[in-house]
Chains A and B, each alone.
Chain A
Amino acid sequence: AQSVTQPDIHITVSEGASLELRCNYSYGATPYLFWYVQSPGQGLQLLLKYFSGDTLVQGIKGFEAEFKRSQSSFNLRKPSVHWSDAAEYFCAVGRNSGNTPLVFGKGTRLSVIA
């Protein structure tokens, strides 16, 4: 069965600083990996996804993530954080079939300070 671990519950960064949110997954085959963001009172918005090919994927809002099979990781990065990036970030893994329910991590809450 798939599982996702986000080891950081809460991260605080200064505006303009770089960001890396960690995600480790467990899945026997090639995973489909996603990062979603949830702003307060909002639903889950897809930031980016990885299925195959280039292991560095670009997403919306200046985010990127790198798939590292050897480390079973899919860490999310942003070179310069904006105050509007403060939100909850969820990593998710899906099976490599069409109609696949996602398994989510517990999320990492990002706070941005001036």
Chain B
Amino acid sequence: EPEVTQTPSHQVTQMGQEVILRCVPISNHLYFYWYRQILGQKVEFLVSFYNNEISEKSEIFDDQFSVERPDGSNFTLKIRSTKLEDSAMYFCASREMTDPYSPLHFGNGTRLTVT
């Protein structure tokens, strides 16, 4: 079964540094998402992306965050200047377009640790 893949599995960075989290959605999917899960808390929506633009974003997704689909396969989340509170598990998800009721398929996540 096709999978959403995320790299790296674990990223450690210093406060103030830029990080890029990478995702390869399922190939025929056209809706892409980023969610995050701070340790011990709920999974929170960050942003959705369709047709090369952001379709919806949460209040968490401020100017420090950006997303990009640089080529036909990758979908990236960039945090420009990381803060301690950005430490979390970040999940990428994708959904196919043809079925509007199709569920999200999640990757295994990237654990980001900001020190």
Contacts and interface: CB of A to CB of B under 8 A. Distances in A.
Q: Is the interface of B mostly helix, strand, loop or mixed?
A: strand
Contacts of B35: 104
A41 B45 CA distance: 19
B98 to A, nearest CB: 11
A45 interface: yes
Interface string A16-42: 000000000000000010101000011
Interface residues of A, number: 23
B103 A43 contact: no
Interface of A: 32, 34, 36, 41-46, 49, 51, 90, 92, 97-99, 101-107
Interface of B: 4, 6, 31, 33, 35, 41-45, 48, 50, 55-56, 58, 91, 93, 95, 100-101, 103-109
